[in-house]
Amino acid sequence: MSGPLKVALLGCGTVGSAVLRLISEQAGDLTARIGRPVEVAGVAVRRPAHHPDVPAGLLTTDAAALVTRDDVDLVVEVIGGIEPARSLILAAFAAGKSVVSANKALLAEDGVALHAAAAKAGVDLYYEAAVAGAIPLLRPLRESLAGDQLRRVVGIVNGTTNYILSRMAETGAGFAEALAEATELGYAEADPTADVDGFDAASKAAILASLAFHTPVTAADVHREGISAVSSTDVARAAEIGCTVKLLAICERVGNGDDGSVAVRVHPAMIPTSHPLAAVGGAFNAVFVEAEAAGQLMFYGQGAGGEPTASAVLGDLVAVARNRITGAAGQGPTGYAALPVRSMADTPTRYHVSLDVADKPGVLATVAQEFAQHGVSISTVRQDGHGDAATLVIVTHSAPDAALSATIAALRDMPAVRDVTSVLRVEGLS
């Protein structure tokens, strides 16, 4: 046993201050688990005066100097965003220091380069906290399932949108009303774009897909649709077919062997209420995994918040510290498979569509014919007549997304179709 391991903390907001508190509260356990005590060498912040709880001697505004200091062994980055986080992490690597990060945006944009820089420097880059907060997920994907083949990873990875959709289902409210409530309760930020439009979930999908399929996937590769177009009609229609609406991050391996590719997307979808993900309500996160040998797995827990995120950071810190002491960098290669990323148009999906049609002979045949012309096979159809009108509810089999959206466009132009009242993809049906 030699001296303490010294940690540089970059950022001291909600997560950073929880990390500081846990390092102090868990000092005895951390020492036992790592073999040496952990000490905070410095805390880089923009405005030291805003952090009266942090010992003044630890605070610095010069993050770049802190990460390369000789007495710093490990760096924890909880600033978020692309810069200066990226430059600081690269500087830490160049100075031979391993990094624990909670930065989903950066990892989703630049994970390949960051992994390469860490490997070149022979140090670690861990980022369990970047996806699904406290839920141990990245390490199980990277390590526990390392001897298996993953087929799909489907996650509810954004608590804000899950809260809004849960409220819409519970109260029958529309999107705007549920968003207003979420904002008032602090579940949505003043500018909710990152959550509501699926940017946050897309970053997480990119990270999950990269790890699941050993293939570089960036946020820009992810097809992204948010929830602002989800209507109370969509939610009601979902309930009628035994489903619930969730914003899903979906990473799939399509095809096998040399034809293999990956499809990565974020969009709202109906899933059966019997699916394990359907019961994940409010601000919780959960990730459902299908692997060749392991079968179906699910990981569930809190996806955000200072303490849960700090728990994930500390778990990484213990691993990185132990690797530092044993002289081993802990992660294997992640990009070796390098599968192509499939376009959304080419990705197989299933649609639910509800139509108001004229209730007269031949309409169902005409509508069915439109699906057939686009090569889309119908799984279930339900027709309810009322007066001279009828409602048609159709769930398709799997077809390329482009064929499905072309079918919908054609239906909208069809004289017999008075209105397309709900269109939403369906996931998790057998």
| By CB under 8 A, residue 336 contacts a copy of itself | yes
Cβ contact 418:262 at 8 Å:
no
Distance in Å, CB of 379 to a copy of itself, minimum: 25
Options 6, 97, 104, 204, the catalytic residue: 204
Site string for a copy of itself, 205-234 (x = CB under 8 A): ---------x--------------------
CA distance 136 to 115: 20
| By CB under 8 A, residue 151 contacts a copy of itself | no
| By CB under 8 A, residue 318 contacts a copy of itself | yes
Cβ contact 102:77 at 8 Å:
yes
The candidate with the shortest Cα–Cα distance to 8, out of 100, 115, 145, is 100
18-37 positions binding a copy of itself, by CB under 8 A: 18, 22, 26, 29-30, 32-35
User: Binding residue for a copy of itself (CB under 8 A) from 206, 319, 393, 411?
Assistant: 319
Cβ contact 210:335 at 8 Å:
yes
Residue 204 annotated to the active site: yes
Contacts of 61 (CB under 8 A, 6+ apart): 44, 45, 46, 47, 48
Q: What is the DSSP letter of 341?
A: B
Phi–psi pair at 352, nearest 5 degrees: -105, 135
CA distance 171 to 400: 34
The candidate with the shortest Cα–Cα distance to 70, out of 95, 87, 90, 89, is 95
Closer CB to a copy of itself, residue 255 or residue 375? 255
- The interface region with a copy of itself, picked from 40-48, 195-203, 288-296, 345-353 by CB under 8 A, is 288-296
Cβ contact 106:38 at 8 Å:
no
Distance in Å, CB of 307 to a copy of itself, minimum: 4
CA distance 308 to 303: 8
Cβ contact 424:396 at 8 Å:
no
CA distance 26 to 253: 40
- The interface region with a copy of itself, picked from 3-11, 189-197, 198-206, 304-312 by CB under 8 A, is 304-312
| By CB under 8 A, residue 296 contacts a copy of itself | yes
| By CB under 8 A, residue 272 contacts a copy of itself | no
- The interface region with a copy of itself, picked from 3-11, 104-112, 232-240, 321-329 by CB under 8 A, is 321-329
- The interface region with a copy of itself, picked from 156-164, 188-196, 298-306, 399-407 by CB under 8 A, is 298-306
3-state secondary structure of 124: coil
Distance in Å, CB of 306 to a copy of itself, minimum: 9
Exposure of 131 in the CB half-sphere (CA atoms within 13 A) = 31
| By CB under 8 A, residue 48 contacts a copy of itself | no
| By CB under 8 A, residue 169 contacts a copy of itself | no
User: Binding residue for a copy of itself (CB under 8 A) from 297, 355, 376, 423?
Assistant: 297
Closer CB to a copy of itself, residue 34 or residue 153? 34
| By CB under 8 A, residue 39 contacts a copy of itself | no
| By CB under 8 A, residue 16 contacts a copy of itself | no
Cβ contact 86:105 at 8 Å:
no
Partners of 267 in the beta sheet?
248
- Look up residue 362 and give its amino acid: G
User: Binding residue for a copy of itself (CB under 8 A) from 323, 347, 349, 391?
Assistant: 323
Q: What is the DSSP letter of 340?
A: P
Interface contacts to a copy of itself, rule CB under 8 A: 18, 22, 26, 29-30, 32-35, 128, 134-136, 139-140, 143-149, 214, 276, 279, 291-302, 305, 307-308, 310-315, 317-319, 322-323, 326-329, 332-333, 336-337
